[in-house]
Amino acid sequence: MKNRIFISLIIIFFLITFLIFYKGLQNTNIYIPNVSTKKDIPYFEAKLFGVDRFVNSNEIFEKDKFYLVNIWASWCVPCREEHPFLMNLKDETKINIIGLNYKDNNENAKRFIKELNNPYNIILSDKDGIIAIEWGAYGVPETFLIYDKKIIKKFIGPLNLDSLSEIKKLIK
């Protein structure tokens, strides 16, 4: 008799543990280092894509305006995935989208744009990846939402439906 109570107690204990782990799985947390939001955008100079002219960040970004900086490359597969979302933003909102072409071959990048259309108002080229480091990017693709020359939100990895609606909500 005593034994039976003991067994049931153990089984109940493990069942509870199972349930708690199961619940714990639902709020899985991928660790993202504290994103420095509301931070001033870094100053940089970059070559315009396909043209032999340099611009600096002060010329590109104006006060009181929303910008989206998107780091992309033609060799990056997830960039292909997020491209339709960028096109959608271009068509449905008035936001300025700035592409930062990261460590890419010019020809491949041109082909990429030709094939999938161009959502960008300006494309900058970042051949050695230095500008991306200054922005504190972890990899490609990555997207920064900028308002009033400040980074207000950072999206690591490809954009998806959730981030799309979040962006739309923020710029309203």
Partner 1 sequence: MASLIGFYSLIFGLCLSFIIYFFSIKNFRNSLIFDSKIIFFVFLQLLFVTISFFGLIVSFINSDFSNETVFNHSHTTKPLFYKISGTWGNHEGSLLLWLLVLTLFIFIFLVNSKEQKKKYRILTLLFQQIIIIGFFIFVIKTSNPFNYIFPIPKEGLGLNPILQDPALAIHPPILYLGYVGSSIIFSSTLAATSLNYISNNWAKHIKIWVLLSWIFLTLGILLGSIWAYYELGWGGFWFWDPVENVSLMPWLALTALLHCILILERKLLFTSWVIILSISTFTLSMCGTFLVRSGILNSVHTFANDPQRGLFILIFLFCLIFLSLFIFFFFHKNEDKEKYNFFWLSKEMSILVNNWFMMYFLTVILIGTIYPIFLEVINSEKISVGPPFYNKLIIPFLVPFLFGMAIGPKLKWVKSDFKNKLYLVIFLITSFLLSALIVKNFNISFLINTILVTSAFYLFFITLRDFLIKRFNNFSQNISHFGFSLLILSILLNNIFSTEIITNLKVGETFELKKTKIIFEGIDEKNIKNYNVVIGKFIIENFNGDTEILKPELRIYNQPNIVTSEADIKTSLFEDKFITMNLVQNQNYFNVRYQIKPFMIWIWISVLIISFGGVLSIFRKRI
Residue 60 in contact with residue 98, Cβ under 8 Å?
Answer: yes
Nearest to residue 85, comparing CAs of 100, 67, 70? 70
157: which DSSP letter? S
Asked if 73 contacts 110 with a C-beta cutoff of 8 angstroms, the reply is no
Distance CA 122, CA 98 (A): 5
Verify binding: residue 129, partner 1, rule CB under 8 A. yes
Using CB under 8 A, which of 2, 26, 107, 172 touches partner 1?
26
Closest CA to 96 of 36, 167, 42: 167
SS3 132: helix
Site string for partner 1, 65-104 (x = CB under 8 A): ----------xxx-------------------------x-
34 binds partner 1 (CB under 8 A): no
Indicate which single residue of 1, 2, 5, 30 sits in contact with partner 1 (rule: CB under 8 A).
30
- Which C-beta is closer to partner 1: that of 39 or that of 62? 39
- The verdict on 138 binding partner 1 (CB under 8 A) reads yes
9 makes contact with partner 1 (CB under 8 A): no
Among 38, 45, 58, 139, binds partner 1 (CB under 8 A): 139
Distances from the Cα of 81 to the Cαs of 32, 101, 117, 126, 160, in angstroms?
A: 21, 16, 13, 21, 9
Using CB under 8 A, which of 133, 160, 165, 170 touches partner 1?
Answer: 133
Could you list the residues that contact partner 1 (CB under 8 A)? Answer: 3, 7, 10-11, 14, 18, 20-31, 75-77, 103, 108, 129, 132-133, 137-139
